[in-house]
A and B are shown apart, each in its own frame.
Chain A
Amino acid sequence: GENVEQHPSTLSVQEGDSAVIKCTYSDSASNYFPWYKQELGKGPQLIIDIRSNVGEKKDQRIAVTLNKTAKHFSLHITETQPEDSAVYFCAASKANAGGTSYGKLTFGQGTILTVHP
């Protein structure tokens, strides 16, 4: 089955700096890679996603890059703010692949991001 590794487990930055979180996956058939943000006491919320036919996607201060050959993808947050402090999860799935994929996600271990004012 799919295995997703996420690094680092904790990341501390100063407000205004950039933050980068990296993930690798094992199943070359995976084609959908979402990133979730989880604030304290809440459920994960999707912040950005990327599909395997795209190399990079941006949404304001957040960007995600995907290297299919190396099987890794990364989350980039620029101009970090204290409200970016949260746990971030990467995930992988074989979306719309038919068969028995059924949208099941395999998650990375999570990264605790702390942005210091």
Chain B
Amino acid sequence: NAGVTQTPKFRVLKTGQSMTLLCAQDMNHEYMYWYRQDPGMGLRLIHYSVGEGTTAKGEVPDGYNVSRLKKQNFLLGLESAAPSQTSVYFCASIGGMRQETQYFGPGTRLLVL
């Protein structure tokens, strides 16, 4: 089992460009999450999904969109990147409502110039 994987590992964007971050898990988990990590602010929830075809907003959703077309994949999109979106992005997953432990991916470092 690879667990939770994220692609790409690192990306540099110019302001206004778009990109999609991919999260994949092979644990058949129901719930998936996208966080951003900024110095001194911990991890903040961007969007989450409780099953295939569902998405919901987290704490800091503005400027991001997500999709969960397949149970194993959760995509995070930036339509028009801004320097404020420079961050490290982490994906996580949980088995379902009766599960508690979130398993994290290795992260994607994004720099927006």
Contact = CB atoms under 8 A, between A and B. Distances in A.
Contact of B102 (A9, A103, A109): A103
A73 interface: no
Interface stretch (B40-48, B64-72, B73-81): B40-48
Contact of B100 (A32, A43, A98, A110): A32
Interface residues of B, number: 27
Interface in A29-72: 32, 34, 36, 41-46, 49
A34 B98 contact: no
A40 B95 CA distance: 26
Given A89-B42, A96-B98, A43 B104 contact: yes
B48 A109 contact: no
Contacts of A103: 31, 94, 97, 99-100, 102
Interface residues of A, number: 28
Contacts of B58: 104
Interface string A56-100: 000000000000000000000000000000000100010110100
Interface core residue of B40, B42, B90 (most chain A CB under 10 Å): B42
A105 interface: yes
B90 A43 contact: yes
A25 interface: no
A1 B44 CA distance: 13
B34 to A, nearest CB: 12
A108 B45 CA distance: 12
15 contacts: A1-B59, A4-B42, A41-B106, A46-B101, A49-B101, A96-B98, A102-B31, A102-B48, A102-B97, A103-B94, A103-B102, A104-B33, A104-B48, A109-B42, A110-B40
Minimum-distance CB pairs A-B, first 9? A43-B104, A107-B42, A107-B43, A95-B100, A109-B42, A103-B94, A44-B104, A43-B106, A102-B50
